[in-house]
Chains A and B, each alone.
Chain A
Amino acid sequence: MIDIFSVFIVMILTLIVQSMISMYFPLYGMVPDLMLVSVVYFSLRKGTVFGEAYGFFSGILLDVFSLQVFGARAVIFTVIGYLVGRYSHKLDETKVRVQVIICFMSMLFYLLVFNLICAVFLPRSNVFHIYALLTEVIYTSVFVPLVFGLLNIWFRKTRKWSGKANRI
């Protein structure tokens, strides 16, 4: 129970931090997608089903707080959760190199599909630009080790708290 609760807190905190970065540290208007990094984290750490579920709910949350096609991120994050989860047992997620590469590829997939969906459903939306896409992917990749590190610390702490709670 405490595990689900801490995951929910992570989801909300990620959203808040992401919107704060979008407010104060945008790079050429691009913002790192920390939510996607957290989807990759959970898919690698907790497997396919958890990754899918986390991807779906975090995608819905982002869709609610954005002004684009509702449900688009939910689909893409679910698929990313599934794909990363499927190959998680073949990868060593403790290595920073692996984390960055997986996030880089997930981000690339996400942006390509998302822009495609927007082009279909919102024909008047901004024209997709390859340099903007690469900037966003690289900017997100920079944050990957930090997000993974923070999430590791967070779950180590929550596990300790849950252990203490069980003893009480």
Chain B
Amino acid sequence: MKHQPTIVLILLISISLMLFVFDLTSKIESFKILFNYLLSPAPNLALKIINRQKELGEDIVSFVKIHQENRSLKEEINKLRYVETQNESLRKENSDLTSMLGLSKKSQQKMVAARVISRDPSCWYKTFIINKGRSSGINSNMPVIMFANNEINLVGRVADATKTTAKILLLTDSVSYVPVKNIRTQETGLIKGEEKSMLLLDYLLPFSDVRIGDRIVTSGIGEVFPEGLPVGVVHEVPLQDSIYYKKVLIRPLISWNKIGVVYILTK
């Protein structure tokens, strides 16, 4: 029994080394994360506790956060599925009514993503160049939109297209005119560029009811821009200098300085 401590030592070290060899660190870690999470009755409570226990490690916190995010995203997906089903039935109903009335059907449009590759500082509010052209199905007068802060906003239209690039005319260019309407009142007008960040909504009737915050979308008149593309919100209703038409300042939902990736609505 003189060698008993040495035998025990060899035995225990062998077990420890086996733990090394089998590399149980990640498995034990996963088990710990699961154990900590299961011990807490609700994800919110778990998150509160974990935020207090800083030493538990960021990975556990991120695990719980991901789980919560996953849950909320699943809920969002379910809501969107419901909306999609409703949309589908409304689209069908719309299509049936359109054919019954003998109206021409609106074409379904596809989106082509493109990246801004050039923007001339001297024409900052006029044009920019994108990296897609005719070879990607892009042609003149196609609407250009972009997404920012979960909002879609009209950016302009294709002014000219080469095989691999296209020039986009911004809404802010002074030669840009877009037929629009006020969502709340359905009154129509024309958006004009003024080569600054704000847009001018012109040709509203003098007595038209326009309020600050009203959402302005494309009216679909003219067939260049499809109906319903957001252009901006009413920012200011200045004192009118014309007795024939009312002019209103529109604030776009996007920043003109943050245009990176745009989408071209092709036919």
Contact = CB atoms under 8 A, between A and B. Distances in A.
A74 B17 CA distance: 9
A70 B57 CA distance: 16
A interface residue count range (under 10 / 10 to 19 / 20 to 34 / 35 or more)? 20 to 34
Nearest to A23: B55
B6 to A, nearest CB: 8
Nearest to A69: B25
Contacts of B5: 47-49, 52, 82, 85-86
Contacts of B23: 70
Interface of B: 4-6, 8-9, 12-13, 15-20, 23-25, 28-29, 32, 53, 55, 57, 59
Nearest to A26: B55
B8 A52 contact: yes
Interface string A39-83: 000000001110011011001000111011111101100110010
Nearest to B35: A64
Interface of A: 19, 22-23, 47-49, 52-53, 55-56, 59, 63-65, 67-72, 74-75, 78-79, 82, 85-86, 121
Contacts of B16: 56, 59, 71, 74-75, 78
Q: Is the interface of A mostly helix, strand, loop or mixed?
A: helix
A70 B28 contact: yes
B263 to A, nearest CB: 40
Contacts of B17: 71, 75
Contact of B8 (A53, A68, A69, A70): A53
List the 10 closest pairs (A to B, CB-CB), nearest first: A71-B19, A48-B5, A75-B16, A70-B25, A74-B16, A56-B12, A78-B12, A82-B9, A70-B24, A71-B16
